[in-house]
C-alpha cells in the first residue's frame, strides 16, 4: 500500500521576495504546489492522501481554496484515493466549511477529539489517528487518555498519527506535544504539521517529526519542500520525500578561487552556484525556480578588480539555468578579499601563527615529509573531544588521501577565518 502525506499547504498564500526573473508569484504559489501534488497522486494513485493541518491559510481564502480543493479531491476520489485531513490553527474554522462543500474530504478529530480511520489496499491495512484544532489556540497537549486508549486498541496493521502541533515547545499555544510522549505510543510513525521545516523522516527508525510545508513562502524557509510517500509492506513503513514545490529558496555561499580574474569572475560565480544547487535535478519535474540569497567570498589575487566587476554586473538581476530550473538572485553580499600573507602570519607565536604554519604545511610549502607528518598527527588527534569543531566534522574514512588532505586544508582555512574575525572584533 502507498500513502502520500503533506502538511501546511496554506492555500491562498503567495510567496514573497520572488525575483522578477522567476515570473509571477502566483505561478509559484501554494495553489500550484497543490496542483503538482494532485497530479503526482493522479499519475499513480495512492490509497490515501493524508493532510496534517493548515490546508487553507485563513478564512479570507475560503472561496479560492474551496474551488481548488474540490477539483483536486474529486479527481483523486474518482481514482480511488481517499483524502483524510486534520485541521490546524490556521484552518480550524475554514477546513470544516470546505469539507461541507466537498463531501469527499474527510476530517479526522473535528472539535479537538481523537478519531481513527482505516485505509485498506492491496491486502494491507493502515489505521490513521487524527486530532483537529478546536480553536485558534490550544495550550494543552493533545496527548491524553483518549488517545492512549484508542492507540492501544487491537489492530492488524500499522498505526500512524496525524497531528498539527508544536513539537517539544512546552509553553506553546499551538497544541504543544513532547516527542517522548508520541514515541511511547504503540504507533509506527507520527506525521506532524505546524512548523514548516522538513524533518528527515526517512532517517528515523520510528519517525516522529514535521512533514514540512508543501511549498516555501519566504526566504526564511530555505531548502526542500514537498510531500512524503509512505510505502507499507509486511507491517513496515518506508518513507520517501517528494520535492513537489514549484519554488525553492536557497542560501548559498560561493568561494571564488584564488586565480579568479575580473574576466572570469561571473563564470566562476555561476559554476559555484551550479555546484551548490546540484540536487535541484532531483526536483526538476516540479521545480520551476530557485530564489537565491547569495554570499560571494574568497581570497583572490585581484580582489579589488573582481569586486568592481561583480558590482558592475548588478548581481541582484543575475539569473541562470541549472538544468531546466531558473535560478535568480534575490539578494547578495560580496565578501571578496585579497590573499592572506601566510608566511608573515606564520612568524607570529600565537594561535593564528600556528594555524598559518599548519596551512602552509598542508599545502606542501614545507615539503612532502612535513605534510605527511602533519596529516598523520591531525588524523590521530581529530577524534579527541577538544579538537576544533571544523576538524571534528571531517570524514576520516575517505579512502582517497588527496580528499583527506583537501578536507584538512579547508578546515584549517576556516579556523584562520574565525581567528581573523575574532581579531577584528577586538580591534
Tens of pLDDT, residue by residue, the chain (427 residues): 999 999 999 999 999 999 999 988 778 999 999 999 999 999 999 999 999 999 999 877 778 889 999 999 999 999 999 999 999 999 999 999 999 999 999 999 999 999 999 999 988 999 999 999 999 999 999 999 989 999 999 999 999 999 999 999 989 999 999 999 999 999 999 999 999 999 999 998 899 999 999 999 999 999 999 999 999 987 789 999 999 999 999 999 999 998 999 999 999 999 999 999 877 766 678 999 999 999 999 989 999 999 999 999 888 888 898 888 899 999 999 989 888 889 999 999 999 999 999 999 999 999 999 999 998 888 777 665 445 565 655 565 555 677 778 888 888 888 888 888 888 788 6
Same domain, 226 and 90: yes
3-state class of 66 per DSSP?
helix
Same domain, 168 and 216: yes
Beta bridge pairs of residue 316: none
Domain boundary among 337, 361, 379: 337
Same domain, 319 and 218: no
Same domain, 225 and 348: no
| 76 torsion bin: left (phi>0), alpha (psi -120 to 50), beta (else) | alpha
Same domain, 13 and 157: yes
Alpha-carbon distances of 316 from 87, 312, 340, rounded to whole Å: 39, 11, 29
Same domain, 275 and 374: no
Instruction: Determine contact, residues 107/95, Cβ cutoff 8 Å.
Output: yes
Structural domains of the chain, count: 3
Alpha-carbon distances of 385 from 135, 350, 380, 389, 390, rounded to whole Å: 48, 22, 12, 9, 12
- Per the structure, the complete domain to which residue 363 belongs is given by 342-426
Alpha-carbon distances of 120 from 1, 123, 354, rounded to whole Å: 8, 7, 65
Length of the chain: 427
| Cell numbers that stand for 83 in this block | 483524502
**How many angstroms separate the most distant Cα atoms in the chain?**
77
Same domain, 395 and 317: no
Cell numbers 507499507 correspond to: 232
Same domain, 133 and 260: no
Same domain, 264 and 213: no
Same domain, 203 and 169: yes
3-state class of 310 per DSSP?
helix
Q: Which residue, 331, 356, 338, 337, is CA-closest to 346?
A: 356
Provide the CATH number for the domain around residue 10: 3.60.21.10
Domain boundary among 316, 337, 358: 337
Beta bridge pairs of residue 336: 298
Amino acid at each position: 500500500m502507498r500513502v502520500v502525506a503533506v502538511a501546511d499547504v496554506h492555500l491562498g498564500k503567495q510567496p514573497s521576495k520572488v525575483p522578477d526573473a522567476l515570473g509571477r508569484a502566483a505561478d509559484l504559489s501554494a495553489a500550484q504546489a497543490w496542483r503538482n501534488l494532485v497530479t503526482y497522486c493522479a499519475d499513480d494513485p495512492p490509497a490515501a492522501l493524508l493532510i496534517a493541518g493548515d490546508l487553507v491559510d485563513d478564512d479570507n481564502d475560503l472561496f479560492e481554496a474551496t474551488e481548488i480543493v474540490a477539483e483536486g479531491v474529486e479527481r483523486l476520489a474518482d481514482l480511488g484515493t481517499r483524502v483524510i485531513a486534520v485541521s490546524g490553527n490556521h484552518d480550524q474554522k475554514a477546513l470544516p466549511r470546505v469539507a461541507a462543500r466537498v463531501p469527499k474530504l474527510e476530517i479526522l478529530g473535528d472539535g479537538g477529539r481523537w478519531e481513527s480511520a482505516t485505509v485498506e489496499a492491496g491486502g494491507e491495512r493502515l489505521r490513521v489517528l487524527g486530532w483537529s484544532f478546536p480553536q485558534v489556540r490550544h495550550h494543552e497537549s493533545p496527548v491524553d487518555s483518549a488517545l492512549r486508549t484508542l492507540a492501544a486498541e487491537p489492530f492488524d496493521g500499522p498505526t500512524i498519527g496525524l497531528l498539527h502541533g508544536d513539537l517539544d515547545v512546552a509553553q506553546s499555544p499551538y497544541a504543544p506535544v513532547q516527542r517522548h510522549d508520541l514515541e511511547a505510543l504503540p504507533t509506527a510513525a507520527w506525521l506532524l504539521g505546524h512548523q514548516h521545516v522538513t524533518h528527515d523522516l526517512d532517517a528515523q527508525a520510528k519517525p516522529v517529526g514535521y512533514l514540512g510545508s508543501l511549498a516555501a513562502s519566504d526566504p526564511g524557509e530555505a531548502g526542500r519542500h514537498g510531500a512524503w510517500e509512505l510505502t507499507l509492506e509486511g507491517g513496515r513503513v518506508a518513507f520517501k520525500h517528494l520535492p513537489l514545490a514549484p519554488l525553492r529558496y536557497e542560501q548559498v555561499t560561493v568561494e571564488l578561487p584564488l586565480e579568479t580574474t575580473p574576466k572570469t569572475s561571473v563564470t566562476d560565480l555561476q559554476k559555484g552556484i551550479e555546484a551548490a544547487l546540484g540536487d535541484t535535478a532531483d526536483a526538476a519535474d516540479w521545480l520551476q525556480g530557485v530564489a537565491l540569497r547569495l554570499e560571494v567570498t574568497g581570497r583572490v589575487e585581484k580582489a579589488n578588480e573582481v569586486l568592481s566587476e561583480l558590482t558592475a554586473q548588478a548581481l541582484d538581476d543575475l539569473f541562470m539555468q541549472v538544468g531546466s530550473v531558473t535560478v535568480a538572485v534575490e539578494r547578495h553580499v560580496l565578501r571578496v578579499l585579497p590573499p592572506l600573507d601566510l608566511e608573515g602570519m606564520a612568524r607570529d607565536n600565537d594561535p593564528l601563527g600556528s594555524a598559518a604554519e599548519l596551512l602552509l604545511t598542508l599545502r606542501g610549502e614545507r615539503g612532502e615529509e612535513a605534510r605527511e607528518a602533519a596529516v598523520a598527527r591531525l588524523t590521530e588527534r581529530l577524534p579527541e573531544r577538544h579538537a576544533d569543531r571544523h576538524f571534528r566534522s571531517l570524514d576520516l574514512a575517505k579512502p582517497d588521501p588527496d580528499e583527506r588532505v583537501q578536507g584538512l586544508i579547508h578546515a584549517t582555512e576556516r579556523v584562520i577565518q574565525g581567528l581573523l574575525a575574532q581579531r577584528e572584533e577586538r580591534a
